[in-house]
C-alpha cells in the first residue's frame, strides 16, 4: 500500500519535524519509492541468520572508573543558543 502524505506526516511528527503539505506530498512519493525498493530484501532467505548490528569483533575495552575533568562548564555552554551562565535555557515547560 503506497505511503500517503498523512502517514508521512505521522512519521515526521515522531521525528520532530514539521513539514508543510507540499513537502509532505513530495516526501510521501519519494519514501514510497525508496521503501518499496527496500522491500526487495523480503526475497532473501534469512531464517536462522543472526542479525549483524556492528562489525566490531573485539571485546569492549573498559577504562578505569575514575573521575576526569576534561572540559569546563564554560566550554560546554559555549555553543548553546541560550544560557543563564550556568544552565541551558529553554522555553517554559510547566
Contact residues: other proteins, CB under 8 A: 8, 11-12, 14-19, 23, 27, 30-31, 33-35, 37-42, 44, 46, 49-58, 60-61, 63, 70-71, 75-76, 78-82, 88, 90-93
The residue to which cell 576534561 is assigned: 70
Q: In angstroms, what is the minimal distance from the CB of 77 to other proteins?
A: 9
DSSP letter for each residue of 37-61: HHGGGGGS--TTPPP------SPPP
Of the pair 2, 80, the CB lying nearest other proteins is at 80
Q: Is residue 23 packed enough to be buried (19+ CB in 10 Å), middle (13-18) or exposed (0-12)?
A: middle
- Residues 8 and 35: their CA atoms lie apart, in Å, by 12
Shortest distance, CB of residue 42 to other proteins, whole angstroms? 7
Q: How far is the CB of 25 from other proteins (least distance, A)?
A: 13
Which lies closer to other proteins via its Cβ, residue 6 or residue 93? 93
Amino acid at each position: 500500500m503506497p505511503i500517503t502524505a498523512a502517514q508521512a506526516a505521522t512519521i515526521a511528527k515522531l521525528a520532530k519535524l514539521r513539514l508543510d503539505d507540499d513537502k509532505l506530498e513530495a516526501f510521501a512519493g519519494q519514501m514510497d519509492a525508496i521503501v518499496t525498493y527496500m522491500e526487495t530484501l523480503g526475497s532473501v532467505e534469512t531464517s536462522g541468520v543472526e542479525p549483524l548490528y556492528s562489525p566490531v569483533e573485539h571485546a569492549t575495552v573498559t577504562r578505569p572508573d575514575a573521575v576526569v575533568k576534561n572540559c569546563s562548564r564554560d566550554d560546554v555552554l559555549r555553543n548553546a543558543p541560550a544560557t543563564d551562565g550556568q544552565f541551558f535555557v529553554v522555553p517554559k515547560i510547566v
